[in-house]
Amino acid sequence: MDLKRVVITGLGPITPIGTGAAEFAQAQREGKSGIGPITHFDASDLKVRIAGEVKTDLSQFVDAREAKRLDRVVQLALAAADLAVADSGLSPEELAGERTGTLVGSGIGGISTFETQTRVLVERGAGRVSPMFIPMMIANMSTGNVAMRYGATGPSSTVVTACATGTGAIGDAARIIQLGLADIMIAGGTEAAITGLAIGGFGNMHALSASHNDDPQAASRPFAKTRDGFVLGEGAGVLILEEREHAQKRGARIYAEVVGYGTSADAHHITLPAPEGRGAQVAMRQALNAARIDPSAVGYVNAHGTSTPANDLNETLALKHIYGSHAAHLAVSSTKSMTGHLLGAAGAVEAIAVAQALSDGILPPTLNVGADPDPELNLDYIPEGAREQQVEYAMSNSFAFGGQNAVLVFKRWS
């Protein structure tokens, strides 16, 4: 069976460093950090008091009446979808119907609603819990609301694989198009987990950086010697994927082509990566095989790069295993150094960054690693700012709690 080809025609990032394709791209070029003090709630009593918050006013995408019935995680998804659709140039008539599908994942879902309504239960009793509690909390509501907004009645699903969610959503959506089940997929990830419960939980398991409350922009430092945990971020990334001939027929601008997807399980530990990234290696190898390219063809990797000691070491080792001698010539960076870790939205936002890198010929940097190199980690992490460099193929990695891994390979469109 001949598989259809899948291209990216619309980008919708809403992140701590910028909203919309142009603003997000410019922020990466400038090496902007979106990490700062938490303002969503009073974090003064917590040991971690910083995060990557989205500053965009969501009321331009979701009206006040809608907002009362939608958790912030869904509001971010709708905003990102609106941005992606506008960027694609698709009309409402082109989007409506069974040839358009939706697949927007979330690693956690409506945790803000969960936290608020749990407080209501404890303080006021079960009779006062909102009847909208379940619809606002469950993870599939981003996909459901995006489908309803555009009248997209085609294939619809939700990926929930923690930090691999956004990448898995794009990969699964691409497969739907490859199999001829849809012409258009609205795909990506969303997360809004900057709450006391999430910060407390991640912080108490020592996953978050707790040493830079007074210098937030230095906290997310992937691959640096003194990295001590990730910085929690929020946001959403939605992409418009199209079957190549469908996109070309309507004269769409094409950013890049999705050519490879791999997914695997470490089957090792609930939070720690397998030694030398063995599970990650499987997913990377699958993605390269699906793309039908030799590793030496890849010029750039957007790393998972969380700024945790175990992830950054094992991802580096995995890259060395997969790329061999070519690893020394590979550009690698982590945009989490700018945005923080957006959990279920991370892979989708990073896919947008990769599509822009291929299209614009500008590779995003890794902040905070240049002055603090780790002698054990000796790849080219783009430490000195964004780099003008045209590459033909790029890889994007996402690895999750539970040992779930997802990897995408993209090709420059020319």
- Token pair 């997360």 is at which residue? 191
Catalytic residue among 40, 212, 329, 341: 341
Q: Is the sign of the CA dihedral 69, 72, 73, 74 positive or negative?
A: positive
From 302, 176, 279, 188, select the one nearest 239 (Cα to Cα). Answer: 188
From 148, 152, 150, 149, select the one nearest 173 (Cα to Cα). Answer: 152
Q: How far apart are CA 289 and CA 80, in angstroms?
A: 31
Catalytic residue among 163, 212, 246, 268: 163
Tell me, yes or no, if 329 is annotated catalytic.
no
Burial profile 196-235: b = 16 or more Cβ within 10 angstroms, e = fewer: bebbbebbeeebbbbebbeebbbbbbbbbeebbbbbbbbb
Tell me, yes or no, if 304 is annotated catalytic.
yes
Q: How far apart are CA 102 and CA 169, in angstroms?
A: 9
Angle between helices 278-291 and 309-323 (to 10 degrees): 40
Report the SS3 class of residue 193.
coil
Tell me, yes or no, if 341 is annotated catalytic.
yes
Catalytic residue among 246, 304, 326, 329: 304
Q: Across-strand partners of 362?
A: 388
Residues taking part in catalysis: 163, 304, 341
